[in-house]
Amino acid sequence: MSSYCLDSNVYIQSHRLEYAYDIVPGFWNWLDHLVAEQCIISPSFVYHELTEKDSDDYLSHWVKARKSSGLFLDPTSDIQIKFSEIADYVSQTYDAKNSEIFLQKADAWVISYAAVMNYTVVTQETFAPDPRARKVKIPNICRVFGVNYINTYAFLRETGAKFS
């Protein structure tokens, strides 16, 4: 099975919409299965994004319970170097405001981890044909750095998820 690096929006959108725990608990069990199989990771920066607000919802509890599960990883020196390369590219290519917004979030870290570890990024963001006309998008940066990316539905199909 392939390996995947999940963006914050995969967890957030799944929790808020189509895979809410009270509707599809199997989704969250499937993620636990993939963590146990060491097929998915997220940067520790994703953990911080998901827990920075003092929320008392299912997602917050789920994430906090998995802090030391191997799902959320701290960056290695190679990942930090890749992050610097991505940050330089973004800063040189996009306007200062959009660059700053992108680099303050976990997005560049998600791409950095995937690039170094040869993982596929899972994100709900879509490619923007004219990247400078909009905010910085994960798929656009993935393409520049040769990182594969897919959305949550493709991820579930690739990993063989079945919910009944």
Q: How far apart are CA 107 and CA 45, in angstroms?
A: 9
State pLDDT tens for residues 36-86.
999 999 999 999 999 987 778 899 999 999 999 999 999 999 999 999 999
Cβ partners under 8 Å of residue 114, min gap 6:
5, 120, 121, 142, 147, 148, 149
Q: Is 41 left (phi over 0), alpha (psi -120 to 50) or beta?
A: beta
Q: How far apart are CA 91 and CA 54, in angstroms?
A: 31
- pLDDT greater at residue 52 or residue 112: 112
Q: How far apart are CA 93 and CA 136, in angstroms?
A: 10
Residue among 68, 34, 28, 63 at smallest CA distance from 46: 63
Render 9-35 in DSSP notation, one character per residue.
Answer: HHHHHHHHTTT-TTT-HHHHHHHHHHH
Provide the pLDDT for residue 19.
95
State pLDDT tens for residues 114-164.
999 999 999 999 998 875 667 899 999 999 999 999 999 999 999 999 997
CATH topology for 4-159? Rossmann fold (3.40.50)
Q: Could you tell me the pTM of the whole model?
A: 0.94
Provide the pLDDT for residue 49.
94
Q: Break the chain into its structural domains and give their ranges.
A: 4-159
Provide the pLDDT for residue 62.
96
State pLDDT tens for residues 17-29.
999 999 999 999 9
Look up tokens 């996009």; give the residue.
94
